[in-house]
Amino acid sequence: MERARKYVDQKAIPQLAELIHRYHPDILWFDTPHKLPLSENLRILQFIRETDPDIIVNGRLARNEKQQFGDYNSTGDRAAFFFPEKGDWESIPTTNESYGYNENDHSHKPASHFIRLLASATARGGNILMNVGPKGNGAIDEPDLNILRQMAQWMALNGCSVHEVGPSGLPAQSWGETTLRGDSLFLHVFQYPADGKLFLSGMNASIKEASFLASGEKIKTKRINDSDWLLQLPQGEMKCADTVIVVRKKGTIIPTDTRLLDEYLPNILLAFDARLCGEGWQHGDGKVARNYLSNWTSEDMKISWSVKNNKTARFEMILEYTGASDKENGSMQLLIDGKACPFDYRAEVGKTTRQTIATVCLKPGTHLITLQGDRREGREYLRPMSLTIQKIAGRT
């Protein structure tokens, strides 16, 4: 402890004082808080507050298992999926898999990944802090520049759909995300419908007009029922990471998590978006293949999703999951409106399993889908990642 106090008094605080007095930063961003005792991190935070109370401090400076003491939460690194967060938060992606320049790391993700990541974060009330590692001479590597240029091109046309916006209150949509600012609802279309029919669900408010944000081209809209709309888009393939449509609405959106099952696109119900019943749930960090729920140790714990469909149709139910070890075997039930579809599973750590659980006929209306455990071998049940509901073509 004496060594930690000496470091804080003689190095950390003097350097922070220089940064604050010479450069007047708006934000100070910290990492690796575990390298100091919490009491010393709190002393650093207190110094910042007393020196300039207007400086924003991220949540990684001082935190414990129960709370973080900064101004907002910095979530896990390199997440591709986001679980619900309370308050202000950010996610920290990297262009490849390295923090800092690495000439041997050529695993750069496409610009579309980051464009969609930004839309997904803002749709959930968060932000992304883009990490780019410069080379030793200060130059930005060309693959990173290409990503940033493509993001800038998209932002130049669609930036207002992710700036000063928040969650819309609409349920998850099979084709993408939604953000809201005032009476402007922004539809972020990741999966453009080839037939041009885009279904917007959960929209109880009226639509005054709709148009493509980039071009201003008008879009015809039609109300299907009290909460669902059809937007008729131009047919054909749209080669864009995120085609943004702005909808001018009239009235207040009543929040709901009941999502409409798309007839043409796979309906991927993420475990991160499920209703959780029981205590003790934990979230994976959201990286690829780590977007699971864990610590499922009790038969009293269960997860569920609310869905609806407007036409009678047959659907295939496919569960995607992983395990905590190689000995996670057991049996579970998928309940659809209370009717049980039992199944056995074998979950393995580090392996993603896709298992068809059932084929069911759903009549028009709202349906509750619940996943619950029966028997397990090992410390916990499987770690669910998603449930895909896919319409079976040509059958009702």
- Residue 201 Cα distances to 118, 206, 222, angstroms: 22, 12, 12
pLDDT of 253 reads: 96
- Taking residues 107-119, report their average pLDDT: 97
What CATH number is associated with residue 221? 2.60.40.1180
pLDDT of 263 reads: 87
For residue 199, being part of any structural domain is answered with yes
Residues 137, 85 share a domain: yes
Residues 175, 151 share a domain: no
- Taking residues 270-286, report their average pLDDT: 97
- Taking residues 314-328, report their average pLDDT: 94
At 272 the three-state DSSP class reads helix
- Taking residues 168-173, report their average pLDDT: 97
- Taking residues 242-263, report their average pLDDT: 96
Whether the predicted pLDDT of 165 surpasses 80: yes
Q: How far apart are CA 57 and CA 177, in angstroms?
A: 29
Calculate the average pLDDT of the chain: 95
Question: For residue 181, what are its two tokens?
Answer: 């600012």
For residue 262, being part of any structural domain is answered with no
Last residue of a domain, one of 126, 161, 196: 161
pLDDT of 187 reads: 98
Q: Where does the pLDDT of residue 67 fall: very low under 50, low under 70, confident under 90, or very high at 90 and above?
A: confident
Residues 241, 108 share a domain: no
Residues 176, 101 share a domain: no
Would you mind telling me the total number of residues written for the chain in this entry?
Answer: 396
Question: Could you write out the DSSP letters of every residue in 200-251?
Answer: EES--SEEEEEEETTT--EEEEEE-SSSEEEEEPPSS----S-EEEEEEEES
pLDDT of 394 reads: 63
What CATH number is associated with residue 367? 2.60.120.260
pLDDT of 390 reads: 96
Q: Which of 296, 261, 265 is nearest to 385 (CA)?
A: 296
Residues 186, 150 share a domain: no
Say how many domains are in the chain.
Answer: 3
Last residue of a domain, one of 127, 161, 195: 161
Helix count and strand count (H, E) for the chain: 5, 25
Q: How far apart are CA 197 and CA 392, in angstroms?
A: 19
Specify the DSSP class assigned to residue 163: S
Q: Decide: 104 and 136 in contact? Cβ < 8 Å.
A: no
Residue 384 CA from chain centroid, whole number: 16
For residue 190, being part of any structural domain is answered with yes
Token pair 């708006």: residue: 26
Residues 235, 179 share a domain: yes
Residues 251, 127 share a domain: no
Q: Which of 39, 66, 45, 67 is nearest to 57 (CA)?
A: 45
Residues 274, 241 share a domain: no
Q: CA 67, 71, 76 angle in degrees (round to 5)?
A: 65
Residues 382, 358 share a domain: yes
pLDDT of 142 reads: 97
Q: Where does the pLDDT of residue 396 fall: very low under 50, low under 70, confident under 90, or very high at 90 and above?
A: very low
Last residue of a domain, one of 188, 222, 255: 255
Q: What is the pLDDT of residues 5-60, one digit of tens each?
A: 999 999 999 999 999 999 999 999 999 988 999 999 999 999 999 999 999 999 99
For residue 136, being part of any structural domain is answered with yes
Phi and psi at residue 266, in whole multiples of 5°?
Answer: -65, 135
Whether the predicted pLDDT of 299 surpasses 70: yes
Specify the DSSP class assigned to residue 331: E
For residue 260, being part of any structural domain is answered with no
Residues 242, 179 share a domain: yes
- Taking residues 117-139, report their average pLDDT: 96
Whether the predicted pLDDT of 160 surpasses 90: yes
Whether the predicted pLDDT of 395 surpasses 80: no
What CATH number is associated with residue 103? 3.20.20.80
- Taking residues 376-388, report their average pLDDT: 95
Question: In this structure, which amino acid lies at residue 93?
Answer: P
For residue 261, being part of any structural domain is answered with no
- When computed from its CA atoms, the radius of gyration of the chain, rounded to whole angstroms, is 24
For residue 249, being part of any structural domain is answered with yes
At 16 the three-state DSSP class reads helix
Residues 380, 250 share a domain: no
Residue 160 CA from chain centroid, whole number: 20
- Taking residues 305-312, report their average pLDDT: 96
Q: Which of 186, 191, 162, 310 is nearest to 253 (CA)?
A: 186
Whether the predicted pLDDT of 290 surpasses 90: yes
Alpha helices, H only, 12-103? 13-23, 38-51
Question: For residue 237, what are its two tokens?
Answer: 């393939």
> How many CB atoms lie under 10 A from the CB of residue 30?
18
For the range 28-34, what are the long-range contacts, defined as Cβ-Cβ under 8 Å and sequence gap of 24 or more?
28/55, 28/56, 28/57, 28/58, 28/61, 29/58, 29/60, 29/74, 29/129, 30/57, 30/58, 30/60, 30/61, 30/70, 31/60, 32/60, 33/60, 33/61, 33/62, 33/63
- Taking residues 120-138, report their average pLDDT: 95
Strand 166-167 and strand 126-128: the pairing is unpaired
Residues 93, 20 share a domain: yes
Strand 206-212 and strand 126-128: the pairing is unpaired
Half-sphere exposure of residue 369: CA atoms within 13 angstroms, side-chain side: 30
For residue 87, being part of any structural domain is answered with yes
Q: Which of 322, 310, 309, 362 is nearest to 339 (CA)?
A: 362
Print the domain residue range for 244.
166-255
Sign (positive or negative) of CA dihedral 205, 206, 207, 208 = negative
pLDDT of 211 reads: 98
